[in-house]
Structure 1
């Protein structure tokens, strides 16, 4: 099996790869995540995942890079990571009592050769209406600060989510099943790592 690199500093993505026992190394990369306004969420996550894969490729001679990007979209308006507690609270208040979508883009890049495969996953998330005091207590935990849409479904924010339609792991930040199917196109069988 070729060396596999995760181009992400997200502890959640690393944990998901560890859970499926896919051997990998983490590459911390910095990329400009600024995009022109009005880009649809699916196109945004694809563009950013490709940008991250390209940045990681500059650091390597050989291997397969996994790069991902996740955004939360409410009525096609992207909610990124909050810059401060006030912005986190504002995002959470917008999501209350509504359905929003989580998009994750995945790019696989094989080097040398620059074979590239990109795809995305979309999951709908339903949040109950929560009181301002509940949301303030959640923001005070600090959990929302490094997460798109200002919440982590796998953490304390589970108390706000009533239903999802689609891949749960997509909401965490990496649609595992989609990734496994993409890796199969590179002749990598994840289940072979379970022996």
Structure 2
């Protein structure tokens, strides 16, 4: 069964590859701002990220012949009662970090998994991965260097865990893969709801092969 990732995120792709899945990447054309606007100002934070993930997955599913599993995800940061996404500019990212420094925030990652056959969705499952993070307080020089790198401008919450931003994350309570962009435990649970065994999607040698090359710390 083909696995289709409805995301342009190289981090999500890397997580799936490292976990044994080699997906086809198909980037959705969804207008995220339009989806959020249609939900209205009183929508719950978890509902918002799931709606975004579902919109992305459904948009891509129309072009997938199947049989396939389509995975859509979207992450946003909930902090101080506000739900924020990608800052896009240095000024916005700087203000985000001034508010985040020394505080806790919740990164919410909406997931939607669709089972597709003959370009039709025959089953779906969705949920939210929630991870609480403790942000450090970078010095002015550190923050300006981070902003100048460009990394925080196009990522949810203006930070990463698996890049330069990892220097400024003091604690993670939840699935680390969810912070990177896709929760492996939640995705596995959603696949099971659809009757799909994650082991059946693993690429490469299966059990019974002569030998597997594992990292030296195994």
TM-score (norm 2): 0.84
Aligned-partner SS, 2:111: strand
Please report the RMSD computed on the Cα atoms of aligned residues, expressed in angstroms: 1.4
Q: Which residue of 1 aligns with 2:93?
A: 88
Judged with a 3 Å threshold, the aligned counterparts in structure 2 of structure 1 residues 47 and 113 are, in CA distance, closer, same or farther, namely: closer
Query: Could you tell me how far apart the structure 1 residues matched to 2:72 and 2:184 are?
Result: 13
1:182 has 2:182 as partner: no
After superposition, give the CA deviation of every residue in 1:31-56 in whole Å (9 maximum; x if it has no partner): 01121333222111110011111101
1:75 has 2:57 as partner: no
In structure 2, stretches of 5+ residues that fail to align are 207-218
Aligned-partner SS, 1:123: strand
Q: Which residue of 1 aligns with 2:26?
A: 27
Question: Is contact 1:20–1:190 with CA below 8 Å preserved after alignment?
Answer: no
Deviates more, 1:138-147 or 1:181-190: 181-190
Q: Which residue of 2 aligns with 1:39?
A: 43
1:132 has 2:132 as partner: no
Question: Is contact 1:108–1:117 with CA below 8 Å preserved after alignment?
Answer: yes
In structure 1, stretches of 5+ residues that fail to align are none
TM-score (norm 1): 0.94
Q: Which residue of 1 aligns with 2:214?
A: none
Q: Which residue of 1 aligns with 2:211?
A: none
